[in-house]
Amino acid sequence: MEEAGDVVFRLNAPGQVLFASKRAVALIASPHDLQGDLLATHVAMADQPALKAALAEVLQALAPSLVEVRLKTPEHEVWFELRVSCFLNQDQVPELLVVGRDMSVQHATEERLRHMATHDGLTELPNRLLLSDRIRMVIANARRSGQGFAVATVGLDGFKKVNDGLGHPVGDAVLRMAAARLRKTLRDSDTLARVGGDEFVAVLPGTSTEAQIKLVTGRLIATLQSPFEVDSHTIYVGASVGVSVYPHHAEDEVRLVALADAAMGRAKETGKARCVVYSPKHSGPPEHDISLEAAMFQAVREGEFLLYYQPIVDARTREIQGFETLMRWKHPTLGMVPPARFIPIAETNGLINLLGAWALKAASVQLKQFEEVAKRRLYISVNISPRQFRNDKFLDVLDDALAFSGLSGEQLVLEITEGTLMVDPIHAETILSKMALRKARIAIDDFGTGYSSLAYLKRFPISVLKIDRTFIRDLPGSQKDGAICNAVLDLAKHLDLSVVAEGVETEEQLHYLDDRGCQYIQGYLTGKPMPANVAMTALKESTYANLLPEELRQVHQ
Ligand code: C2E
Ligand code: CA
Ligand code: CA
CATH number of the domain that residue 98 is part of: 3.30.450.20
More confident residue, 156 or 393: 156
Partners of 124 in the β-ladder: none
Long-range contacts of 25-34 (CB under 8 A, 24+ apart): 27/71, 27/73, 27/78, 28/71, 28/72, 28/73, 28/74, 29/73, 29/74, 34/9
Distance from residue 80's CA to the centre of ligand 1 (Å): 56
Mean pLDDT of 399-403: 93
Q: Are residues 350 and 230 in the same domain?
A: no
Q: Give the span between the Cα atoms of 376 and 379, in whole angstroms.
A: 10
Q: Does residue 7 carry a pLDDT above 90?
A: no
Q: Does residue 187 carry a pLDDT above 90?
A: yes
Q: Note the pLDDT of residue 390.
A: 87
Instruction: Decide if 467 is inside a domain.
Output: yes
C-beta separation of 150 from 207 below 8 A: yes
Max mean pLDDT among 302-306, 364-368, 458-462 falls in: 364-368
Q: Which of 155-164, 357-366, 538-547 has the lowest mean pLDDT?
A: 538-547
Instruction: Decide if 292 is inside a domain.
Output: no
Q: Are residues 361 and 494 in the same domain?
A: yes
Distance from residue 41's CA to the centre of ligand 2 (Å): 67
Angle at 159 between CA 155 and CA 160, to 5 degrees: 120
C-beta separation of 273 from 225 below 8 A: yes
Q: Does residue 552 carry a pLDDT above 60?
A: no
Q: Which of 85-89, 419-423, 531-535 has the lowest mean pLDDT?
A: 419-423
Q: Does residue 545 carry a pLDDT above 80?
A: no
Q: Are residues 533 and 409 in the same domain?
A: yes
Q: Are residues 440 and 515 in the same domain?
A: yes
468 lines ligand 1 (CB under 6 A): no
446 lines ligand 1 (CB under 6 A): yes
Kindly indicate the confidence band of residue 459, based on its pLDDT and cuts at 50, 70 and 90: confident
SS3 454: coil
- Which ligand has the nearest atom to the CA of 340? 1
Q: Give the span between the Cα atoms of 465 and 463, in whole angstroms.
A: 7
Kindly indicate the confidence band of residue 546, based on its pLDDT and cuts at 50, 70 and 90: low
- Which ligand has the nearest atom to the CA of 326? 1
Q: Does residue 544 carry a pLDDT above 70?
A: no
Instruction: Decide if 293 is inside a domain.
Output: no
Q: Are residues 132 and 157 in the same domain?
A: yes
User: CB neighbours (10 Å) of residue 54?
Assistant: 21
Ligand 1 pocket check: which of 325, 326, 354 to mutate, most ligand atoms within 8 Å of Cβ? 326
Q: Does residue 184 carry a pLDDT above 90?
A: yes
Looking from the CA of residue 502, the nearest atom of ligand 1 is 15
Q: Give the span between the Cα atoms of 359 and 401, in whole angstroms.
A: 9
Instruction: Decide if 1 is inside a domain.
Output: no
> DSSP letter at 381?
E
**Which of 56, 87, 108 finishes a domain?**
108
SS3 18: strand
Q: Are residues 86 and 132 in the same domain?
A: no
Q: Give the span between the Cα atoms of 79 and 7, in whole angstroms.
A: 12
Distance from residue 197's CA to the centre of ligand 2 (Å): 30
Q: Note the pLDDT of residue 555.
A: 47
Instruction: Decide if 501 is inside a domain.
Output: yes
Q: Does residue 21 carry a pLDDT above 90?
A: no
527 lines ligand 1 (CB under 6 A): no
Q: What are phi and psi of 220, to 5 degrees?
A: -60, -45
Query: What is the domain extent for residue 85?
Result: 7-108
For 439: left if phi > 0, alpha if psi spans -120 to 50, otherwise beta; the answer is left
523 lines ligand 1 (CB under 6 A): yes
For 451: left if phi > 0, alpha if psi spans -120 to 50, otherwise beta; the answer is beta
More confident residue, 545 or 292: 292
Instruction: Decide if 551 is inside a domain.
Output: no
Q: Does residue 455 carry a pLDDT above 90?
A: no
Q: What are phi and psi of 506, to 5 degrees?
A: -130, 160
- Which ligand has the nearest atom to the CA of 526? 1
Mean pLDDT of 121-149: 91
Looking from the CA of residue 529, the nearest atom of ligand 1 is 11
Long-range contacts of 529-535 (CB under 8 A, 24+ apart): 529/308, 529/309, 529/310, 529/324, 529/326, 529/328, 530/308, 530/309, 530/310, 531/306, 531/308, 531/309, 532/307, 532/309, 532/366, 532/369, 532/370, 535/309, 535/311, 535/323, 535/370
503 lines ligand 1 (CB under 6 A): yes
Distance from residue 544's CA to the centre of ligand 1 (Å): 28
Q: Which CATH number is 136's domain given? A: 3.30.70.270
Q: Are residues 321 and 272 in the same domain?
A: no
Q: Are residues 211 and 276 in the same domain?
A: yes
311 lines ligand 1 (CB under 6 A): no
Partners of 11 in the β-ladder: 17, 96
Output the CA–CA distances (angstroms, integers) from residue 123 to 16, 119, 155, 197, 440, in the order listed: 48, 8, 15, 11, 39
Distance from residue 394's CA to the centre of ligand 2 (Å): 18
445 lines ligand 1 (CB under 6 A): yes
Q: Does residue 103 carry a pLDDT above 70?
A: yes
Q: Which of 63-67, 150-154, 219-223, 448-452 has the lowest mean pLDDT?
A: 448-452
Of all protein residues, the one whose alpha carbon is nearest to atom 34 of ligand 1 is: 383
Distance from residue 522's CA to the centre of ligand 3 (Å): 10
Q: Are residues 274 and 316 in the same domain?
A: no
326 lines ligand 1 (CB under 6 A): yes
User: CB neighbours (10 Å) of residue 303?
Assistant: 9
Q: pLDDT digit string (tens) for 279-294?
A: 887 766 666 666 777 7
Q: Which CATH number is 333's domain given? A: 3.20.20.450
Q: pLDDT digit string (tens) for 211-260?
A: 999 999 999 999 999 999 999 999 999 999 999 999 999 998 888 998 99
Instruction: Decide if 357 is inside a domain.
Output: yes
Looking from the CA of residue 417, the nearest atom of ligand 1 is 34
Of all protein residues, the one whose alpha carbon is nearest to atom 11 of ligand 1 is: 529
**Of residues 2, 5, 7, the one with CA closest to residue 84:** 7
Q: Give me the amino acid identity at 19.
A: F
Q: Give the span between the Cα atoms of 471 and 448, in whole angstroms.
A: 9
Q: Note the pLDDT of residue 550.
A: 57
Q: Note the pLDDT of residue 499.
A: 97
**Which of 284, 315, 337 finishes a domain?**
284
Kindly indicate the confidence band of residue 29, based on its pLDDT and cuts at 50, 70 and 90: low
C-beta separation of 418 from 455 below 8 A: no
Kindly indicate the confidence band of residue 309, based on its pLDDT and cuts at 50, 70 and 90: very high
491 lines ligand 1 (CB under 6 A): no
Mean pLDDT of 105-133: 84
Instruction: Decide if 554 is inside a domain.
Output: no
Q: Are residues 323 and 273 in the same domain?
A: no
Kindly indicate the confidence band of residue 130, based on its pLDDT and cuts at 50, 70 and 90: confident
Q: Are residues 52 and 104 in the same domain?
A: yes
> DSSP letter at 94?
E
Q: Note the pLDDT of residue 294.
A: 75
Q: Note the pLDDT of residue 489.
A: 94
Q: Note the pLDDT of residue 240.
A: 94
- The chain-wide mean pLDDT, for the chain, equals 88
Q: Note the pLDDT of residue 32.
A: 61
Give Rg (Cα) of the chain.
32
**Which of 223, 251, 284 finishes a domain?**
284
Kindly indicate the confidence band of residue 556, based on its pLDDT and cuts at 50, 70 and 90: very low
For CA atoms 258, 259, 260, 266, give the dihedral sign.
positive
Q: Does residue 383 carry a pLDDT above 70?
A: yes
**Preceding amide of 247 cis, omega within 30:** yes
Q: Are residues 374 and 410 in the same domain?
A: yes
Q: Does residue 33 carry a pLDDT above 80?
A: no
- Which ligand has the nearest atom to the CA of 341? 1
Distance from residue 368's CA to the centre of ligand 1 (Å): 22
Of all protein residues, the one whose alpha carbon is nearest to atom 30 of ligand 1 is: 339
User: CB neighbours (10 Å) of residue 243?
Assistant: 28
Distance from residue 415's CA to the centre of ligand 2 (Å): 6
Domain count, the chain: 3
